[in-house]
Amino acid sequence: MKINKHIIFYFSFTFLPLCLSGQGQPPSFTPRQTPAMGAVPEPPEDPLCIFGTGVSGKLDARKFEKIIAQADVVYVGESHDQMNDHIAQLAALKALHKARGEKIIVGFEMLNVTFQPVLDGYVLGKISEKEFLEKSNWKKGTGFDFNLYKPIFNFIKEKKLKAAALNVPRKIILKIARTGVDSLDAEEKKFLPEKIMINGDTNYMGYLNRSYNEHSGNSKSSMIKWDNYFASMAAWNEGMAWKAAQFLEKNKGHAMLVVAGNGHVVYNAGVPWSLKARNENLSHASFYTEGVGVCPKTFPPALLEYADFVWFVKHEVKKPEGQMQAPAGQKQPAPTSKQNRD
C-alpha cells in the first residue's frame, strides 16, 4: 500500500538545547566487537531469574509460562554479544510455542526489511545457511557471530514458525542522525511510517540524553545535532514497530517474539510503545536482560521501571578493544551500558 511520503513528528516535550553527538549506529556509536565463539559460555546458575513489577518474588516456571501464554507480543531484549541473553530469548520462544503452537512470528532487529525474501528462503529450507549469511550480509551488517542467534533460527525452522525482518536499513537511520528527516528522498521514506510519533517519557529521554552526551567528545560526532539524533531513534523504533504491526495484521491470531537490543525495550518506550500505539488490542510482555554474576534475592528497586520484567542473566565479561577497564568497584549505572543499547 502506498503511503504519503511526508513524515510528521509529534513532540510531547520541549527539546533540550542543541548540542553535538556521535555517529555510527545510533545510539551506540562505538564499533561493535565480534565475540570469540570458541567456547560455550557458562550457563546462568538460575536460568529463570526473573522479577517483575507487581509480582511477588521471583517468577517460577509456571508463572513465566502463564505470562508468555497471555501475551500477543513478547519482547526479550539483549546485549547482542551475550550468548546467555539469546538463550533467554530461546526459552521465551519455547514457552510461546507451548502456548501458541505454530502461530508464531519471530521478529529480528538484526535483519532489515530488504532481507525478508532471503529470510523466508532460509527458514523454509530453500537456501542453505551459507547462502543466507552471504545474501543477508550478516557478517558485515551485524558484526556478530551468527552462532549467537543460530539456536533461535534452528527452532524456527524445526517448528515451522514464521520469521520477520523488522529493521529499517541502517543507512536511513544514519542519514536522519546526520542530516535530518527532511534529507530523506521518496524511496528512503518508504521504509518509514507516514507519521512518526515521539515518546517523551522522562526516563527514556534521560536514557537517550546520556547516550548522546557520552559521545559528545568524539571527533566523528561533531556534525550530529541532538534533534536529528533523537529523530533517528524515533524513526528506528517506529519503523520496526510499524513492520511488526503489519506482520501481525497479515497473520491474524499469531503471537510475536521480538528479538532486539535492550535499548529498543527499556522503559517500554521504544518498540513496545510504538506497537501499542498502532494496535491497542494486543497484550504485551517485555523482558529487559540485565547482566549479573548471581541471581539477586529480591528485585533491585533501581530496575523497577526498565520493563514489565527484568531477566537477570549471567554475562561473559568482555573488554572492547582500545577501551580502558573501569576502576575496580565502579559500574556504569544501567541501562547506559553500550552493550545494552541498540
Asked whether residue 9 carries a pLDDT value surpassing 70, the answer given is: no
Question: Cell 568524539 maps to which residue?
Answer: 218
| Structural contact between residues 113 and 165, judged by C-beta atoms closer than 8 angstroms | yes
Residue 323 pLDDT level (bands cut at 50, 70, 90): very low
Percent of the chain clearing pLDDT 70 (strictly above)? 77
**Distance, CA of 200 to chain centre:** 19
For residue 144 the three cell numbers come to 556478530
- Residue 221 pLDDT: 61
Would the pLDDT of 32 be above 90?
Answer: no
pLDDT of residue 218: 65
One-letter amino acid of 270 = G
Whether the CA torsion 77, 13, 203, 207 is positive or negative: it is: positive
Q: How many percent of the chain have pLDDT more than 90? A: 72
| Distance set, CA 102 to CA 91, 116, 251, 279 (Å) | 16, 19, 12, 22
- Residue 302 pLDDT greater than 70, yes or no: yes
Q: Does residue 34 have a pLDDT over 60?
A: no
For residue 223, is pLDDT > 80?
Answer: no
pLDDT at position 214: 83
- How does pLDDT run across 129-163, given as a tens digit for each residue? 999 999 999 999 999 999 999 999 999 999 999 99
Identify the top-confidence range among 26-35, 209-218, 262-271: 262-271
Threshold 0.85, pTM exceeds: no
Give Cα separations from 182 to 162, 212, 280 (angstroms): 35, 21, 30
The stretch 330-339 carries a mean pLDDT of: 44
Q: How many CB atoms neighbour CB 27 within 10 A? A: 25
State the Cα–Cα distance between residues 296 and 321, nearest whole angstrom.
30
Tens-place pLDDT, residues 40-72: 445 556 789 999 988 889 999 999 999 999 999
Q: How far apart are CA 241 and CA 175, in angstroms?
A: 20
> What was the pLDDT predicted at 16?
25
Supply the pLDDT for residue 54: 83
Q: Residue 42's pLDDT is what? A: 52
Is the pLDDT reported for residue 329 higher than 60? Answer: no
| Amino acid making up residue 183 | S
For residues 32 and 95, which has the higher predicted lDDT (pLDDT)? Answer: 95
Which of 84-93, 249-258, 289-298, 329-338 shows the lowest mean pLDDT across its residues? 329-338
Q: Tell me what pLDDT residue 45 has.
A: 63
What per-residue confidence (pLDDT) applies to 215? 72
Per-residue pLDDT of 16-29, as tens digits, reads: 222 222 223 333 32
Mean local confidence (pLDDT), 309-313: 97
pLDDT band at 342 (very low <50, low <70, confident <90, very high): low
Identify the band that residue 7 occupies on the pLDDT scale cut at 50, 70 and 90: very low
Beta strands in 254-306 (DSSP E): 255-259, 284-292
Q: What is the pLDDT of residue 28?
A: 32
* pLDDT value at residue 56: 87
Mean pLDDT score of the chain: 83
pLDDT in tens, 244-275: 999 999 999 999 999 999 999 999 999 999 99
Residue 169 has what pLDDT? Answer: 98
How far apart are the C-alpha atoms of 123 and 116, rounded to whole Å? 11
